[in-house]
Structure 1
Amino acid sequence: MRKALVLLSVLCLLAVSIVPAGALAAGVRIKDVAKVQGVRSNQLVGYGLVVGLAGTGDSTKNMATMQSIANMLRTFGVTVTPAQLQAKNVAAVMVTAVLPPFVKPGDTIDITVSSLGDAKSLQGGTLLQAPLRAANGLVYAVAQGPLSIGGYAAGSGGASQQKNFPTVGTIPGGAIVERDVPVEFTAGGQIALALSQPDFTTASRIAEAIAGRFGPIAVARDPGTVTVSIPDYYRGDIVGFIAAIEELTIVPDTAAKVIINERTGTVVMGGQVTIDEVAVAQGGLSVRITRDKAVSQPPPLSGGSTVVTDKTTLQVDEAKASVVTLPPAASVSDVVAALNAIGATPRDIIAILQAIKAAGALHADLQII
């Protein structure tokens, strides 16, 4: 009985070992690697005034701000010229926002308010009503409300202290949507899926996953687009059809890449990185210079005098280089383990990877950011 259990365990291990690597990889929803074309956000921008600042607003030298204040007061029946204004509690700002798809009039969106002039801080300010326009010039939202800058700026007697950027603030839900943007994502009875990272293999797998669920209705048109025909029984439930597609899982394929950030010494390697057989040597040269005092004592009865001199010692140490041989087609874990074994620092690893790439042994795209 015990022998039978041992044999069964061995067979199970063999069965697992012959399963294709792609089958063991974790599945990813199509929703996480692709989006429906036509469903997109839109950028909004506007100009406004922030009031209520404690003397930290734009100076009177900023004529654009003074003119804006005069224009704003004119709408309330107050007529003044920019030269008559001495206000330092007002700042001209640019207001930016992102209009998500499918928002309706009356919904609220977050906005960012940024100083346009020479204001020192927007802390404690309130944004006056400012229309937000899209690239077509139409107003899609109106912003207003008190700012939250998440920081401060204080100074006195030449000393100052600042946290974050007090000339930029946000207003959560500070803009009310006045107009919606029509979204058209079906054309000719089809929808198109746009891949976040265009790839031939991933596009093909998406089409195969959809075909396995709904039949031959998907075609990978190019590495970044998969077109899907809407079945007749889903014509009245497009949302349900797209939701069913997004929940399908695939194993996305990625190109072998090594990302290097030399400023921080960060190295990120994908799981597909492999190298040919290569030997890596890592060592260092240490130079140490020391200076000591030396006393020169003359022989007895010589009539000389004791002299104190500086003695310089130069010592050069060359560390024994560590050599490691990486086998052919080594995986990323083999590369990391081997480089760690020779005591390589992150910056050493950067130089080593660049040298391996120059030697033609690294099969990956080396990107420096």
Structure 2
Amino acid sequence: MKKFIALLMAGAFAASLLPGTASADSAVTRIKDIARVQGVRSNQLMGYGLVVGLNGTGDSNKSTETIQSIVNMLKSYGVSVNQSTLKADNVAAVMVTATLPPFVREGDTIDVTVSSLGDADSIQGGTLLQTPLRAGNGNVYAVAQGAVSTGGFMAGRGGGSGSTATKNFPTVGMTPNGAIVERTVEDDLGTDGSLSLSLSNPDFTTASRIASAINSQYGGIAKAANPGRIDISVPAYYRNNVVGFVSSIEELPVMPDHAAKIVVNERTGTIVMGGDVSVDEVAITQGGLSIKVQKNRNASQPDPFSYGTTIVTRNTDVKVKEDKASTIVLPATANISDIVGALNAVGATPRDTISILQAIKASGALHAELQII
């Protein structure tokens, strides 16, 4: 395997680069694409329920939680059953999950995901019974019910009674618009005269630029509280139209900044590098030393009419071949395009490039965070 050596030549040239200068590859984007309004978020809901109407593909009698749930449900309707004789082949215990979007009102519908909890073979064709969905605070925010669509199937029966054919995961399904919202999550957006923006990727420079962009449009109403939050005072003439104010802010252009980073996936040989990665002057030497050991067997025959015997000899040939090394020198002003182009010029593969980047980072010549995943 080829070996790569990265040697640091000089580091004085890097000091001449101006700090804070935006890279030419940086793109101007909207505030909407890199930040969101604090408090505007979704909430996770979860509930326990039963899916009925299955064609013998439900839970077995080993799933005691299913048997107990059936007994409790029937008891609430005034029906008494003997738990020991109850069969649950057509019923499956399930967990129901959903995401409650922001600003939904009572009566709106949301999708739910239904997942088998016991040992059911399939919940295809079943119907989810009324299931309350609770949030992390224990309050019920929606109620789910309806037909379950799995997007997969299971043909035949398992358990040693015959062969089966399964496509996708018939134990997980969806109920589109299967939950009705019963309680609204109130979002008091800007009612106190202020709101905050949260950055998707916290950064000091980006937060400062967002605050400057807002202040240049509306005056001194924005302040970067920290790298991930910008506090904004809603102007008096927008107090009755907070939605319009947020919309106007989201459309403001800003140039986000980010730290130089190289992300390397050693399992797949994938390398993702930002355009603002720089290196000091560095020399990279690519050379290969090939050693080949070959064994040969020769037979030594005695002279005719002699009393000698045939002897087998073993000869070992060792051949050493040293390929001519390929050396490239990158100046201190080199960017990532120069690095990639130079490595391609010497025939480096993606995995070779990973080794080279690690060596350059170890030498101190690479000015970027090297993240290996």
TM bracket, shorter-chain basis: 0.7 to 0.9
Alpha-carbon RMSD: 2.8
Identity %: 63
TM-score, with structure 1 as normaliser:
0.85
2:68 alignment partner, SS class: helix
Distance verdict in 2 for CA 1:295–1:52, change over 3 Å: farther
TM-score, with structure 2 as normaliser:
0.84
Q: Kindly state the Cα deviation for residue 317 of structure 1 after the two structures are TM-superposed.
A: 5.1
Query: Residue type matched to 1:361 in 2?
Result: A
Query: Residue type matched to 2:61 in 1?
Result: T
Counterpart Cα distance in 2 of 1:22 and 1:364: 14
- Aligned equivalent of 1:335: 339
Query: Residue type matched to 1:200 in 2?
Result: F
- Aligned equivalent of 1:7: none
Query: Residue type matched to 2:326 in 1?
Result: S
- Aligned equivalent of 1:14: none
Match of 1:185 among 185, 189, 198: 189
Equivalent pairs counted in the alignment come to: 350
Counterpart Cα distance in 2 of 1:70 and 1:306: 92
1:129 alignment partner, SS class: strand
Matches within 5 A, 1:153-164: 153-154=154-155, 162-164=166-168
- Aligned equivalent of 1:40: 41
Counterpart Cα distance in 2 of 1:146 and 1:288: 69
- Aligned equivalent of 1:4: none
- Is contact 2:41-2:101 (8 Å) kept? yes
- Is contact 1:44-1:96 (8 Å) kept? yes
Match of 2:329 among 307, 325, 331: 325
> Would you say 1:281 and 2:285 are equivalent positions?
yes
- Aligned equivalent of 1:252: 256
Distance verdict in 2 for CA 1:132–1:348, change over 3 Å: same
Q: Kindly state the Cα deviation for residue 348 of structure 1 after the two structures are TM-superposed.
A: 1.8
Matches within 5 A, 1:208-357: 208-284=212-288, 297-302=301-306, 319-357=323-361
2:340 alignment partner, SS class: helix
- Is contact 2:297-2:313 (8 Å) kept? yes
Q: Kindly state the Cα deviation for residue 187 of structure 1 after the two structures are TM-superposed.
A: 5.6
Distance verdict in 2 for CA 1:176–1:317, change over 3 Å: farther
Counterpart Cα distance in 2 of 1:306 and 1:121: 75
- Aligned equivalent of 1:151: 152
Counterpart Cα distance in 1 of 2:337 and 2:117: 50
Counterpart Cα distance in 2 of 1:159 and 1:319: 60
Counterpart Cα distance in 2 of 1:59 and 1:288: 64
Counterpart Cα distance in 2 of 1:154 and 1:316: 63
Counterpart Cα distance in 1 of 2:121 and 2:28: 51
Counterpart Cα distance in 2 of 1:282 and 1:163: 50
> Would you say 1:121 and 2:125 are equivalent positions?
no
Q: Deviations over 1:311-345 (max 9, x none)?
A: 87766655444332222142121121122222222
Distance verdict in 2 for CA 1:24–1:272, change over 3 Å: closer
Q: Kindly state the Cα deviation for residue 298 of structure 1 after the two structures are TM-superposed.
A: 4.7
Distance verdict in 2 for CA 1:303–1:71, change over 3 Å: farther
Distance verdict in 2 for CA 1:64–1:152, change over 3 Å: same
- Is contact 2:26-2:257 (8 Å) kept? no
Q: Deviations over 1:338-359 (max 9, x none)?
A: 2222222222222221221111
Distance verdict in 2 for CA 1:152–1:310, change over 3 Å: farther
Deviates more, 1:76-85 or 1:150-159: 150-159
Q: Which has the higher contact order (CA 8 A, sep 6+)?
A: 2
> Would you say 1:363 and 2:367 are equivalent positions?
yes
Q: Kindly state the Cα deviation for residue 168 of structure 1 after the two structures are TM-superposed.
A: 2.1
- Aligned equivalent of 1:49: 50
Q: Kindly state the Cα deviation for residue 74 of structure 1 after the two structures are TM-superposed.
A: 2.1
Q: Kindly state the Cα deviation for residue 75 of structure 1 after the two structures are TM-superposed.
A: 2.7
Counterpart Cα distance in 2 of 1:35 and 1:304: 95
Counterpart Cα distance in 1 of 2:353 and 2:213: 39
Runs of 5+ consecutive residues of structure 2 not aligned to the other structure: 1-20
- Aligned equivalent of 2:30: 29
- Aligned equivalent of 2:111: 110
Counterpart Cα distance in 2 of 1:148 and 1:290: 65
Q: Deviations over 1:27-82 (max 9, x none)?
A: 21101111111111111010111223333322211111111121122233322233
Counterpart Cα distance in 1 of 2:152 and 2:321: 51
- Is contact 1:39-1:184 (8 Å) kept? no
Query: Residue type matched to 2:246 in 1?
Result: I
Q: Kindly state the Cα deviation for residue 132 of structure 1 after the two structures are TM-superposed.
A: 0.4
